[in-house]
Structure 1
Amino acid sequence: MRYAAIVLAAGFSRRFGGDKRLACIDGEPMLLATLRNLQLALAGNCRADLQVVLRARDAVVGSMLMGLVREQPGCLARAPVWPVGMGVSIAAGLDVLLERGCRPDAVAVCLADMPFVRPETLRYLLLAATAETICLPVYGGRRGHPVVFGKAFFAELSKLRGRRGAEKILRAHPQAVRELVVEDPGVSLDIDRPEDFHAAARRDPAGRTGTALDTAEDVLLAPPWG
């Protein structure tokens, strides 16, 4: 099996009141914390291609990720200016991934605002995947993220549009869905508002803490990738 991960990082954080991708986890912007976890998950027997989807115009975060670009040329994709939404971002990320010549058997769709997912959880989901399955984690009886789609569903992912994600694909193929129970609260710690962020930081099993970055200059002074 060959794998890839698409990181959705093109949102506008309207409910957060600021750019939540830059909210700080122990001195590191949330997006970088998420990507570092992914790097750990994709190492070893889950080596995979990485595709990060940013906004069409996103200079600050684009600059922050230049080290990643040097490591993996072509790994940044830009979502269309309009329409915006999770579905469009998934389609844009997958299209660029395939245009780069990557040919994964399964793709993990990951959210940039979920930095507390353990690397071993994503590795477990990937290794359980086949080309014909959709694997997702379940914690405390609730479905979470990331979700791993086999290549049988790539055509449908590429046609997604609008604000919603891939829920309709899961509804259309219930027989392909594999719910994998995990002992990882991070799969359900979705951060939409400042109170979500601070609650998630308090619950993080790794004991990390969260604060807010105030300015773009703070982000540009963050530790470089790698």
Structure 2
Amino acid sequence: MYQHVLIKMDDIMKIVELSFQVDASDTKYSGSSGRHVFSFSRKEVPLKSENIRYTGIIYDIALDSMAGTYIDLPGHISETDDGFDLASFPAARLYRLDARAIHLDRVEGGVGAGELSAACKTSLPGAKALVINAYGKNHIKEHESRKVFLTNDAVKWVIDSGIKLLVSDIYESHALHGVFYDLFSAGIATVCNPVNLHLVGDSCTLSIFTLPLKGITQSPCRVIAEINERGNL
């Protein structure tokens, strides 16, 4: 399910949901090979004492690591593993990060360094994260996967910017030319399949929320952008 979620906190602060809502009916891949990325069973547990009686609800949950919006740590690729998993990854690298955003409106082809640089309206030095909104107002699932992609020089431009977290609606091409390998080798974590990126301005404060799962380097996550209409906090 895809929704615009924007909550106005006060006269200057807005909270934007950048995460894709996961539904039990969602499947990954198409045709007969389609499989559910999220399923659960529900169990009702009667609880009572001398003073009260009620029914608790607990769940058994099965969840694909790429369900909805998800984060990849460098350890998602064995050859670029830096030793961090979701339990040991520093929380400071996920919480309230100073981020810059680049907005395009592409439907196909490679996005190069020159295009990213020209569309970047704010200074990158000092930023901890980068948002690339290549599809504009269109949702990523409305396009053929990997039809728009980052070229090799664009990946180098991202690495040279010094950021350590990339939230983007494009990465690899069909040729699998090494975007993730190069980003992970540079210590950059990636967030895939985000939504509502067009609602983020030229800068924001980003937070990524995950469970501290030991041994796991790829997992669904929640991504929240804080937008200050008088400038980034």
- Report the TM range for the smaller structure's normalisation: under 0.3
Give the structure with higher Rg (CA).
2
TM-score, length of structure 2 as denominator length: 0.26
